Amino acid sequence: MTSQPRSIVIGTAGHIDHGKTTLVRALTGIDADRLPEEKRRGITIDLGFASFDTKLPNQSPMRISFVDVPGHSLFIRNMLAGAGCVSAVMLVVAADEGVMPQTVEHLAICELLGISHGITVITKTDAVDATRLVEMQKSVESFLQGTFLERDHGAVVPVSAASGEGMDALRTALRDLATRLHITTSDALMRMPADRSFVMKGFGTVVTGTLLSGTIREGQTLQLEPGNRAVRVRGLQSHGEPQQTAQPGSRVAVNLSGVDATEVHRGQTLVLPNTLRAVDLIDVEIELLKSAPKLKHRASVHFHALTSETMANVSLYGYEAVQPGSVRLARLKLTEPIVLVPGDRFVIRLPLPAGTIGGGRVLDASPEARLRKAVTLSWLEQIKGSSTEQQIELRVGRRKTTGITLDALSIETGLSIDAVRRLIHPAVRRGSLLFVTDDLLLSREGLVAAASAIMARLQVGQPTAKRSELRSQTSLKAEIFEFAIQSLLREQKVEVSGETVSIYRATRNSSDAESEQLTAVARIYEAAGLASPSVTELAARLKLGEAEIRRRVTILQRNMTIVRMGNDDLFIHSAALQQLAAQITALRGSVMDVGRFKQITGLSRKYAIPLLEYLDRQHITRKKGDERVVL
C-alpha cells in the first residue's frame, strides 16, 4: 500500500474535436478514451479518467486528476455527470476553430455549477501561423471577460500536443492552479457519487467516483443511496494504486462486497450508514441564463446534480414565470431521489428544444411539506444569504416546539455531528439555542412557545392539572414539556407538587422574615463560591431544621440563584458557575483530566467531579475517555 498525495480533480471542457483527450494523453500518458466505439469513431462519448503526479512549488506531492468529458452536444448528459464533482476546469479551445457552441455551453455549465477556478488552453497551435495565434489569443481573452476564468486570473496557455510546444508551461499553470485550490471538506459527512461501476475479474464489483468529503477506509461498511443498501469496502485504489484510506478530493475506485455491479448505476452515492439519504423534494435558488426562454410555473425540466440526472417538476414561489437572467426561489419535485445537501449546485435543461437554460443551488433538502408557501418563502429568503451558523439556528427555529436532534440536524445540513456541535456553540452560549437533552435542541422562541402553551391551558381551564393531562393537551414531546415546566418553575409562573402542576400564587410568597432567611442562605452560597456547604452543614450553621433549609434551597433553585450539581446535597451559586465557565472557556481547544481541573480550581475531587459533569451538560466541555476537551 502506498500513501496517497493530496489530490485535486480537474474537468476538461470544450467543443468536440478541440483536442481535450489528446491533451490529457500528452499530460498523463493515459488515453482517457476507453470504449471501443470511442476508438472506432475517434470521439469521446463517455467520461474518461487520467492523472499525473507532480510537486508543488513548496515541494509537497500533488496528484492532478482529470475527468475528460465529451465535447459533442449529443453527449451533454455525460459531460454534466463529469463536471458535477470537479474542483476546477481546463477549458480547451482549438486555435484553428476558436470559440464554438459547446465552448459557450460548457463554460456556462461550469459557471452554473459554481466552479470558480481553472485555466484555458489553446490547442493545435501547430495548425495556425503566428499571426492567427495572436488573434485567437485575443479572441479567447475577450470571450473569457466577466467569467470565473478571468476572475481567477487563470492562465491562457497555447500548446501543441503534437509537437510538445507549450506543454511545460501548461504543467506549470496546472501546478499554480493546484496551489490556488483549497479543498476543505473535513466538516462534511462522507459522500462519494458514483460515475461508473463494473466487474473486475478476481475482485468483483468496483465503483468509481470523486470522493467529495469525508474518508473511506478498507474494511468499512457503507450505504448505497438511493436503495438503503449496506455494502462493505473490500479494497481501495486511486488511479490503479492500492490505498488503505481514500482522502477527500481524490478519484477513488472502491471494491465492494454485498452488491452486484448490475445493481449499481451512475448517480447513486456511497455514504456512511444512517447519515445522508436520497431525497426527491428540494427547495432551491434558480438562476436562468440570459439567453434562456422564460421558465413557467409547473414546467418540467431535466435536473443534473453531481453525477445524477432526473426529471423535475418546478413549483415557483410567486407563480409568475422566471425571466431570462433573473434569480428565483422554487421547489423541485424530482422523479428519482438523489443524495443532496444544502449548497449543492445543479443545472437544468429543457427537454425540447434541448438546451441548458440555467441552474442554481440547493437551499433545503429537507423542506417542511405542510407549511404555507408564504411561510416557507420567508424562511428561504432568510437562509439564502446566511452564514452556516445562522442557517443552523434557522433550521432549529423552524421546528418551533418540536425541536430537532443533533443526528437529524447533521443529516439536514450534510455536516458531521462534531461540526454541528462546534458551530452551535456560540448560539448555545448566548442562549438562543438550548439543549433540552444531550441530543435534542430547541430554540429560545420554541421554549417560549412551549411554556406559553402550558400556561394557556392552565389559564383557560382549571389552574391545576395533572402532568400527564397537561402534556396531552399541549401535544408537546415529553422532553420538551419537562424542559418548559422547569423554565416556568424558575420564573415562578407555576408550582409543582408531585404529579400536579398549578399556576403560581403570589399569596404563597415568603414573609419578610422568610425573605431574610432566603437572603442569608443565598449569601452563604455566594461567599462559598465553588466549595459550597452541603445542605446538612448549612442547616447546622443556621441552626434550622434540615427540612426548612431544603424548602429554602428549593426556592433559590427555582429562581436560578443556585444550581443543583447532580445530587440532592450539593448546590453552587450561579455567579460562581458563571465565573468558572468563563475561566474554562478561555482554555478552548485544550484537554484536561480531573487532576488538571483540580489544579486549576483548587478544589477537591468531591467538588471537581460534579462540576465537570455540569460543564459537560452546558457543552463547555466534552468527555473523551478519562479526559475533557474544552469546546
The cell numbers describing 195, all together, are 460515475
The dihedrals phi and psi of 282, each to the nearest 5 degrees, come to -140, 150
217: β partners: 245
Percent of the chain with pLDDT over 70: 95
User: β-pairing, 61-68 with 6-13?
Assistant: parallel
CA torsion sign for 535, 540, 545, 551 is negative
Q: Which of 481, 445, 444 is nearest to 465 (CA)?
A: 481
User: Residue 240 and residue 336: Cα distance in Å, rounded?
Assistant: 32
CA angle 379, 116, 354 (to 5 degrees): 75
Q: What pLDDT does 507 receive?
A: 42
> Residue 1: its pLDDT value, please?
45
Alpha-carbon span 305 to 83, nearest angstrom: 9
Burial class (CB in 10 A: 0-12, 13-18, 19+), 377: middle
The answer, yes or no, to whether residue 181 has pLDDT greater than 90, is: no
**Do 265 and 299 lie in a common domain?**
no
Length of the chain: 631
The mean-pLDDT minimum among 410-414, 494-498, 513-517 falls in 513-517
d(C-alpha 527, C-alpha 576), whole Å: 9
Do both 260 and 288 map to the same domain? no
Q: How many domains does the chain have?
A: 5
CB-based contacts of 94: which residues, under 8 Å, 6+ apart? Answer: 14, 15, 17, 18, 19, 122, 123, 124, 127
Tens-place pLDDT, residues 276-286: 999 999 999 99
Same domain, 173 and 40: yes
In a domain, 1, yes or no: no
Q: Which residues of 126-159 are buried (b: 16+ CB within 10 A; e: fewer)?
A: eebeeeebeebbeebeebbeebbbeebebbbbbb
Encode 408-425: b = buried (16+ Cβ within 10 Å), e = exposed: bbbbbbbbbbebbbebbb
List 405's β-bridge partners, or say none: 440
Contact predicate 433/424, CB 8 Å = yes
The pLDDT tens digits for 69-82 are: 887 877 788 888 88
Residue 499: pLDDT band with limits 50, 70, 90: confident
Q: How far is CA 584 from its chain centroid?
A: 29
The pLDDT of residue 41 is above 50: yes
pLDDT over 50 (residue 510) = no
Same domain? 501 vs 533: no
Given 245, 271, 297, which residue is the final one in a domain?
A: 271
Q: Is the pLDDT of residue 38 over 70?
A: no
The answer to whether 273 touches 288, Cβ cutoff 8 Å, is no
**Worst-scoring range by mean pLDDT, 82-91, 238-247, 373-382?**
238-247
Tell me if 515 is assigned to some domain.
no
Per-residue pLDDT reduced to its tens digit, 45-65: 778 888 888 887 777 888 888
Model confidence at 342: pLDDT above 80? yes
- Average per-residue pLDDT for the chain: 88
CA dihedral 172, 174, 176, 181 (to 10 degrees): -170
pLDDT in tens, 603-614: 998 898 989 988
How do beta strands 88-94 and 6-13 pair?
parallel
The CATH number of the domain holding residue 248 is: 2.40.30.10
Give yes or no for a contact between 49 and 208, defined as CB atoms under 8 angstroms apart.
yes
- 504: three-class secondary structure by DSSP: coil
Whether 225 and 168 map to the same domain: the answer is no
Query: Could you tell me the residue range of the domain that residue 44 belongs to?
Result: 6-180
∠ CA 123-127-132, nearest 5°, is 85
β-bridge mates for residue 51, sequence order: 65
The answer to whether residue 538 is domain-embedded is: yes
Contact 9, 87 (CB under 8 A): yes
pLDDT at 513 over 80: no
For residue 400, which amino acid is it?
Answer: K
Q: Write down which residue in 160, 180, 200 finishes a domain.
A: 180
Which H, E and C letters describe 551-593, residue by residue?
A: HHHHHHHHCCCEEECCCCCCEEEHHHHHHHHHHHHCCCCCEEC
C-alpha cell at 453: 402553551
The residues, any chain, with a CB within 8 Å of residue 447's CB and separated by 6 or more, are 434, 483, 484, 487
SS3 content of the chain, % helix, strand, coil (to 5): 35, 30, 35
C-alpha cell at 119: 485555466
Specify if 374 maps to a domain: no
At residue 560, does pLDDT exceed 90? no
- In three-state secondary structure terms, 98 is coil
Q: What is the DSSP letter of 415?
A: B
Query: Beta strand pairing status for 118-123 and 88-94?
Result: parallel
> What pLDDT, on the 0 to 100 scale, is given for residue 568?
65
Instruction: Note the pLDDT of residue 512.
Output: 58
d(CA 24, CA 40): 19
From its phi and psi, is residue 482 left (phi > 0), alpha (psi between -120 and 50) or beta? alpha
Mean pLDDT of the region 244-255: 90
Q: Are 351 and 300 in contact (CB under 8 A)?
A: yes
Whether 417 and 351 share a structural domain: no
Looking at the domain assignment, is residue 383 inside a domain?
Answer: no
Q: Are residues 103 and 13 in the same domain?
A: yes
**Within-domain flag for 132:** yes
Radius of gyration of the chain, Cα coordinates, nearest whole angstrom: 31
Instruction: Give the pLDDT confidence score for residue 153 in this predicted structure.
Output: 80
Helices 594-601 + 574-585 axis angle, to 10:
120
Could you tell me which residues come within 8 angstroms of residue 360 by beta carbon, excluding any fewer than 6 positions away? Answer: 112, 284, 285, 286, 287, 327, 345, 346, 348
For the stretch 75-121, pLDDT in tens is: 788 888 888 889 899 999 999 999 999 999 999 999 999 999 999 99
- The closest of 566, 536, 567 to 549, measured between CA atoms, is 536
Check whether residue 88 and residue 207 sit in a common domain.
no
CATH number at residue 549: 1.10.10.10
- Position 370 scores a pLDDT of 78
**Boundary of a domain, candidates 271, 293, 313:** 271
Q: Are residues 301 and 266 in the same domain?
A: no
Is the same domain home to 69 and 176?
yes
pLDDT, average across residues 520-548: 88
Same domain, 437 and 420: yes
Beta carbons of 534 and 569 less than 8 angstroms apart? yes
pTM above threshold 0.85: no
Q: Which residues pair with 121 in a beta bridge?
A: 92, 157
Question: Is the model's pLDDT at 127 over the cut of 80?
Answer: yes
Residue 19, SS3? coil
Grid look-up 477549458 returns: 91
482 and 613 both lie in a single domain = no
Structure confidence by residue, pLDDT tens digits, 402-427:
999 999 999 999 999 999 999 998 89
Q: Does residue 141 carry a pLDDT above 70?
A: yes
